[in-house]
Amino acid sequence: MRDPCEGPGGKEEQEEGVATAAGRPAGVPEAKKGSDADSDSDQETEGAYGQGGQSQDTLYLRSCRAHSVVPASCFLRQGSNPELNLQHRGLGPQGARALASALTCNPDIKRLDLRDNGLCGAGAEALAGALSKSSSICDVDLSENQLGAVGARAICAALAGNPAVQRVRLAGNGLEEQAAQDLAELLLAHTGLKSLDLSYNQLDDQAGETLGPALAENTGLTELNVRWNHLRGPGAVAFTRGLEANIFLRVLDISYNGCGDPGAAAVGEALKANNVLEELRMSNNRISAVGALSLGLGLRVNQTLRILVVSRNPMRSEGCFGVLKSVQANPLSALELLDFSDIQVNREFDDLASSVKVILPGLRIKTAARRVEYKEELLPVFRPSE
């Protein structure tokens, strides 16, 4: 079985793929340079790329031939579409090298989606040059590509010098402690980055201690997703303390990490000072009733948080009651949704919820006993510029 980070198949298969994508039967040679066919092609593309320029498709096909890879037919079909979607195409490192040449000369692409292509570190390094030079690409999805520390370093370095990129997805890439420093430098250097998805990685305690100070100093990021990582213990505390000084972040998803009671307490302290955050998701973080009470201390004074999701935590009814009691004590609370899903509550909690709704009629409370429907994305925080 071929390694996903190795190149494509045999030469005959590759040549056949190139021929098919180019619109000629396999085994038929290309027209020689200087032929009438090439002259017509140059005239057709001259208007779009200038005198002597080459079309994007021509560049891509030649690049594929040079790197001995089969062209992705969907690339040719999408033409000058501002969104280039090449999900699940098995490009691999060699395919990324071929694609990079075409991207460098394409001023139309704004959204680049390369999710699940086995790019690995080598493919990321090949794309880095194109990403650093592009002035049009503002949305990049490189999720599920086995980038690792090498790929993260290449991509972060490329993006740090490109202010055009506003949204980056690096989910499911096996990013660990080694990648944290490069991610922290990206947060510090790229003030134009608005949304960053680092979910489904292996960022651990040490990574949290590295990313926390960077989050505190970051200027620009409005949405951060770190769900399904390993932020625990002191690392979780250091990371969540970054919220205290951050004045831009509006949405944070730290679900499924294991922050525990210390992390919840750190968030509670941060919410006392933070007057920007609007949506916080902390589902399944091993928060007990003690942690819930500490979190509630921040809710007593916070005036901006609109959505708080703490479902699937072992805080029991006592913890839910403590959080809701803190909200009741804050008449200036902006909360619109409290999600306690999969936490069974008692009659005392239900009575308190009824009282709180008199003070905050717009507040919706979701528990295991009461299923309240609500829109998943209440905050359209980020929209790539057209």
Distance CA 22, CA 127 (A): 23
Distance CA 381, CA 245 (A): 20
- Can you count the helices (H) and strands (E) in the chain? 14, 11
At 382, the pLDDT band (50, 70, 90 cuts) reads low
- Each residue of 280-309: pLDDT tens digit? 999 999 999 999 999 999 999 999 999 999
| Domain range summary for the chain, segments of one domain joined by + | 79-367
Q: What are phi and psi of 364, to 5 degrees?
A: -110, 135
Of 46-55, 178-187, 336-345, the least confident = 46-55
Q: What is the pLDDT of residue 9?
A: 43
CATH number of 79-367: 3.80.10.10
- Please name which of 307, 310, 283, 277 lies closest in space to residue 375, comparing C-alpha atoms: 307
Q: What is the pLDDT of residue 269?
A: 97
Whole-Å CA distances, 282 to 47, 135, 222, 333: 53, 36, 17, 19
Q: How many CA within 13 A on the CB side of residue 350?
A: 7
Cβ atoms of 5 and 118 closer than 8 Å: yes
- Each residue of 181-195: pLDDT tens digit? 999 999 999 999 999
364-367: strand order across its sheet: 83-85, 111-113, 139-141, 167-169, 195-197, 223-225, 251-253, 279-281, 307-309, 337-340, 364-367
- Given a cut of 80, whether residue 148 has pLDDT beyond it is yes
- Each residue of 50-70: pLDDT tens digit? 333 456 778 889 989 998 889
Mean pLDDT of the chain: 85
Residue 170's CB is within 10 A of a number of other CB atoms, namely 28
Whole-Å CA distances, 67 to 3, 91, 96, 254: 18, 12, 10, 41
Rounded to two decimals, the pTM is 0.83
- Each residue of 117-129: pLDDT tens digit? 999 999 999 999 9
At 383, the pLDDT band (50, 70, 90 cuts) reads low
